[in-house]
Every structure is written in structure tokens, then in C-alpha cells.
Amino acid sequence: MNTYDKLVEASQFLQPFNAAGANIGVVLGSGLGNFVQEIAITKEIPYEEIPHFPVSTVEGHHGKLIFGTIAGKPVIAMAGRFHFYEGYAPEDVVFPIRVMKFLGVQTLLVSNAAGGVGEGMQVGDLMIITDHISFAIKNPLLGANDNRLGPRFADMSEPYKKDLIQKAKDIAQRLGIRLKEGVYFGVTGPTFETRAEYKMIRLLGAHAVGMSTVQEVIAASHAGMNVFAMSVITDVGIREEENIITHDEVLQAAKEAEPKFSAVFREMIAAL
Ligand code: HPA
């Protein structure tokens, strides 16, 4: 079965839970799952119950798709995402993004945990992603293009929409939350970077580095969705002495920054 037909089946399965007709989608990054408490949930569906969603190769749940409202606005949220480093094919990583598009999502809010490499980046900072660099990541649009999903040569001149960025800045100012801005450097992981790699990433003009988001944003742009994305800086790649970064540290830092992050996303949704 081709991707388009799989998308039709998955979205037909989900459509009954989307009676409210959500046009806002949210992807929650590592450690940011508490954001679901902002949602007045009408339905939660484990990924494994959705036709054609990627099948987990490792034990344990991979997350769920949540239907509900935030500030009265219907939303669809992904609590948990599929990472390329887990062994999923790029088209599987982006399958849920395309499903959201099929369900009517126009605006996609993406979040992630990332390492800070820019000048002055600190653990706990929130960074609006203004652009990205895809580094050695397999492009999810490789292969035959289905014109029903988007054009062969997708424009990437403004993958992160300026009007959404401005909205976030206005909201943060009103809430008294400091937001940084910068370029997200997408890597495959699963290793954290070496000292030399963090230095290279900084030299190449990026401010944060992470293992998600890029493939999703490419697929969303291809599909004509308006994307806003924000990183929570969970570690700092360039530091003088000790440079050991652990997954636990990343999750803990994301959790601590989560209330600030949630406030911005919640108000963004209220303002859309
Ligand atoms: N590097 C890559 N991915 C990450 C990092 C990092 O330092 N922190 C959180 N995700």
C-alpha cells in the first residue's frame, strides 16, 4: 500500500475523534509531556492502535495521540514522537505529521529538547527556532514524490513562519518570559556530540543542536503547514571543564523549564 492510501486509512480511523475539527497540531518533545495537563482531553489513542503508525521495534510504549481543546481551541497533540535514531525510516518518522495534515491541521507547533551551542545559551533557556540546518539527516522526501502530498521540490525559504515567531515574542513579552532565537542544527544522534562537533556546529552558525524536528518540519512544509518550533535548552555543548551530557540531565532540565514552555505554547494556541 502506498503512503497516501495509508494516510487515508489512518485519518479515516481517527476522524471520529476529531469532531471538533482541530486545525492546530502540537508535537511534544522529550521531558515536555506535562504539557498534556493543559489539554481538556476528549480522546487519547495509543500509537499502536492507529493503523499504519510506525510499529515500535523496542519494548515499551511510544506515546499517544491526544484530541482535546486548549483555551477552547481544538487541538491534536503528539505525546511522544518517532526519532530517526530509533531505527524508523524517515517516512515513518513523519507519518503522524502527515496524518495531522489529513485531519485538517494547518498550524503545527513543534517542541524539542536541545543542546545549546550559541553564545550565552544556558540550561533552561527557551529558544524559538528561526531556521534549521539538516546535517547528515536522511530527507523524508527522498524517493518518488506523490504530488497529492506536496511538490517535488519543496520550498524551504521560510519553514518557521515569521508571523508565528512574532506572535510568540509578543506573548513572551506579555508573560515576562525571556525567549532566545536561533538556528537549530539537526543531527541523527543517538550519540551526543563530541567537543569538536559542538565547536563545528557553533562555527557553522547554529545556536542549538538536537536529534528530532528537522524531518517533521520538512514534511510539514512540504504539506503546506505553518510551523512554529521551540527548543528547550537542556545542556550546553560548549563548556570549559567537564563535558559529560546524560539523557537524565536532558530530561530533568526539560522538566524544569516545562512551565515556561507550556505557558508560551498555551498562549500561542489561545491567540491562533
Ligand atoms: N545534542 C543533541 N541532541 C540533544 C542535546 C545535545 O546536546 N541535548 C538534547 N538533545
213 pLDDT higher than 80: yes
Distances (CA, A) of 235 to 58, 114, 210, 254: 26, 7, 11, 9
Report pLDDT for 88.
93
Cα 199 to middle of ligand 1, angstroms: 14
Say what the pTM is.
0.95
Q: Is 75 in the pocket of ligand 1 (CB under 6 A)?
A: no
Q: Is 234 in the pocket of ligand 1 (CB under 6 A)?
A: yes
Q: Is 210 in the pocket of ligand 1 (CB under 6 A)?
A: yes
The protein residue with its alpha carbon nearest to ligand 1, atom 2, reads 210
- What is the per-residue pLDDT across 8-33, written as a single tens digit (0 to 9) for each? 999 999 999 999 999 999 999 888 88
Report pLDDT for 241.
62
- Return the closest-CA partner of residue 66 out of 50, 49, 54, 79: 79
Distance between CA atoms of residues 215 and 245, nearest Å = 24
Reported residue count of the chain is 272
Distances (CA, A) of 239 to 120, 167, 249, 254, 256: 11, 33, 15, 19, 21
Cα 116 to middle of ligand 1, angstroms: 8
| For the ranges 51-55, 183-187, 239-243, the one whose mean pLDDT is highest | 183-187
Q: What pLDDT band is residue 60 in, cutting at 50, 70 and 90? A: low
Q: For residue 96, give every residue at least 6 positions away whose Cβ sits within 8 Å of its Cβ, in sequence order, or none.
A: 47, 53, 65, 78, 81, 82
- What is the per-residue pLDDT across 137-183, written as a single tens digit (0 to 9) for each? 999 999 999 999 999 999 999 999 999 999 999 999 999 999 999 99
Q: What pLDDT band is residue 56 in, cutting at 50, 70 and 90? A: low
Q: What pLDDT band is residue 254 in, cutting at 50, 70 and 90? A: confident
Give the ranges where 34-82 is alpha helix by DSSP (H): none
Q: Are 254 and 31 in contact (CB under 8 A)?
A: yes
Report pLDDT for 58.
58
The hierarchical CATH code for the domain 3-271 is 3.40.50.1580
* Alpha-carbon 120 to chain mean position: 23
Q: Is 78 in the pocket of ligand 1 (CB under 6 A)?
A: no
- Give me the phi and psi of 121, to 5 degrees please: -65, 135
Q: Which sequence spans correspond to the domains of the chain?
A: 3-271
The protein residue with its alpha carbon nearest to ligand 1, atom 7, reads 115
43-47, 202-206, 256-260: range with lowest mean pLDDT: 256-260
Report pLDDT for 214.
98
